Amino acid sequence: MEQGLSFRLTGTSLLGALVVAYLARVVYQWYRLSHIPGPFWAAFSKYWMVRESLNGRQPITIKKATDQYGSLVRIGPNELVTDDPEVLRKMMAVRSPYTRGPWYDAMRLDPTRDNLFSQRDEVAHTKLRAKMAAGYSGKENESMETTIEENIANLVSLVETKYLSEGQQYRPMDFAQKTQYFTLDVISHLAFGKPFGYLEQDTDPYDYIKITNSFIPVMLVLADVPLLANMLQSRLLRGLLPKSSDKLGFGAFIGVAKKMVAERFAPDAKSQPDMLGSFIRHGLTQEEAAGESLLQVVAGSDTSASTIRLVILYLLGNPPAYRLLQTEIDRGIAAGKISSPIKDAEARRMPYLQAVIKEGLRIKPPASGAFFKTVPPGGDVIHGKFIPAGTHIGSSPFGIHHDKKVFGADAEMFRPERWLEADEEGLAKMTSTVDMVFHYGKYQCLGKNVALMEFNKIFVELLRRFDFCQVRPDQPAHISNAGIWIIEDIWVRVTRRQPAEAAL
């Protein structure tokens, strides 16, 4: 009996000690960043962050927090965010001592290895990035422009064959879906030398879009709580994740990527002038090439598709802007300044087109996660406040790109004209700020050139041929956020344009 009583007392004492230790840790975590303002309960747990992620509104809520509490805000026990581009440039500079935080652990597409995006080892990241830069830049992929043109032609052909509404014939088209087909075909064509064939088949044979749209919100929650990501990627639980043997979804894509890459590493395979060929020539192993090609597809298709969708969506909601862009296109064609298909260099000389693209990138930044970086040893001072080493600092993309001091009082509004009205100093500031959608320095997106080339071409090629009209103006789209924008159900009526003689 005495032994039982002693055991219970020992157990109670141990439990009490654990509770005291936990409370002491909570108090310590709260205290070390207590001088940074933010939502009260966010300082004690990650519930605030996870709740906003699950509700598909995290970047919007983070902006509200920076509006309320200032440019540096606490949103978690060890997490801060800032809407100051200068602070972010300092953190991401090539020689910055800041490193990627545990947030990136959830970005491993293969739980057994890192990719360029998830890699937190700075030395390994720099080496891998150097091997891949030439392939993304187009220096070793001279067919990049014609590859994008081929896939735009496939999109145009699909529209003309199946989705033109003429007279009494009504053929509504889900622009959101077709845009995803287009970007998946472009990036797979660039990555592997041939497209997956989404536009040709006009279907999602692997249910990739459906399953990925369900999985990406989970990935953001895992990023917010890295402990969960590491548990799921452990040997014990990684079987629950997508794998190359799957017949559908993301796992099927892993299998396709590995198969295509294996073919290029065969003893009799010839070097090809595409991205994968460049990666191989610069020393990527077969496993690295498979992982990076897969990352290209995932990162390059969703972000580009979201910007294309949003630009068309906002143009349809802003008829004057829609007409101004079509007029610029018509006049450029009449003056012989626009080829068929338009060349990237020609598009960059079209002021209103460039204004529309920049405004589309700004109004809803395509990659809108927090991207937490870790404060280096010794800590840092930001806005006069000491930030301890090991603190994770992320960005407020909406706070940055909707800053009224930079973009004007109507920064919440899609208005391309702001880019044409600004003076030289204001334009330079807006441009450098919008460039942050592609990040900066050692973390700048290698796919920036590909994305901009897509944007420079697709709007001209679509709007020179077709007119688009919303089928459901009261419900133009379904939009949520999971670090990227998940945009579905943009139903449009597409008609063939007649020569715009008045504009010529």
* CA–CA separation, 205 and 30 (whole Å): 49
Beta bridge partners of 395: 82
Cα distances from 284 to residues 44, 272, 290, 293, 295, in angstroms, run 43, 15, 9, 11, 14
Q: Are 182 and 199 in contact (CB under 8 A)?
A: yes
Query: Is 445 within any annotated ligand binding site?
Result: yes
Helix (H) or strand (E) holding 79: strand 79-82
**Residues 65, 38 contacting (CB under 8 angstroms):** yes
SS3 letters for 216-246?
HHHHHHHHHCHHHHHHHCCCCCHHHCCCCCC
The one-letter code for the residue type at 352 is Y
Say if residues 153 and 195 touch (Cβ distance below 8 Å): no
Rounded to 10 deg, the angle between the 286-316 and 175-192 helix axes is 150
Give the separation between CA 443 and CA 439, rounded to whole angstroms: 6
Give the three-class secondary structure for 368: coil
Inter-axis angle of helices 319-334 and 351-363, to 10 degrees?
Answer: 150
**Which residues participate in the annotated binding site?**
445
**Which residues participate in the annotated binding site for heme?**
445
